[in-house]
Amino acid sequence: MHPPFELSTAATDRIVLRRGRLHGFETVDATRTALVVVDMQNVFCAPGAPVEVPTSREIVPHINRLARATRDSGGLVVWVQMTMKRREEWALVLDNMLSKETGDRVLAEIKPGSTGHTLWPQMQPSPEDIYIFKNRFSAFLPSSSDIAEQLRRRGIDTVIITGTLTNVCCESSGRDAAMMDFKTIMVSDANAALTDEAHLMTLTTFIQTFGDVRSTDEMIGMLHAGRSRQAMRA
């Protein structure tokens, strides 16, 4: 597991000076919130997989807890899967950012129907959840998927980002979600990267400029508080 996320005193001071407080979002409307689970698939989670992220297996209990809390609070759970049917869909990366051997393995394992494309078996989806296929690092890039449209149709205005890799698909999705005016929160102990440094640097950048960062326990507390506020108004 990555170490707990702690901001330096200098970073905290900068945020408070600009924002007047540390956290951008101190409450959430649970019924307008979506938990977005990014790329928790065999191709990233399985031992020996072509793009294995070992820490991804350690965050599974946190994501499953968040999924239960989100559903119980009236929110939506979204499972995002990296998906490519043909090399031509993203030849730029497959042919240039990866070796031919690795590119061939990755492509084979992110095709729909492949073992690698399937959710990691320890994940706990529910029938009311939705699934999104994306073909770029960011799910919220308009040409990558229709996640933004689907969320807006359901009245969602807040997204909670979890999954892997913290500094690639999760960060890219989180930044684009924020740029599309979704309140965006990354969960510090429910995202996984290849190194602690990459993970912590991403979270530090994100909370300073793009959105917020919370722990699993904090996020569940915010969801339950949001549910309680809804019940009191009913």
pLDDT digits (tens, 9 = 90+) for 87-141: 777 778 778 888 888 888 888 889 999 999 999 999 999 999 999 999 999 999 9
Residue 102 is which amino acid? Answer: T
209 in helix, strand or coil? helix
Return the domain boundaries, the chain: 10-233
Is it the case that residue 233 has pLDDT exceeding 70? no
Tokens encoding 233: 């108004």
220 in helix, strand or coil? helix
Q: What is the pTM of this model?
A: 0.95
Bridge-based pairing state of the strands 183-192 and 158-164: parallel
- Is 70 within 8 Å of 76 (Cβ atoms)? yes
Residue 122 is which amino acid? Answer: Q
How far from the centroid of its chain's Cα atoms is residue 228's Cα?
25
- Backbone phi, psi, residue 100, to 5°: -60, -40
pLDDT bucket at 230, cuts 50 / 70 / 90? low
Domain 10-233 grouped into CATH 3.55.50.30: no
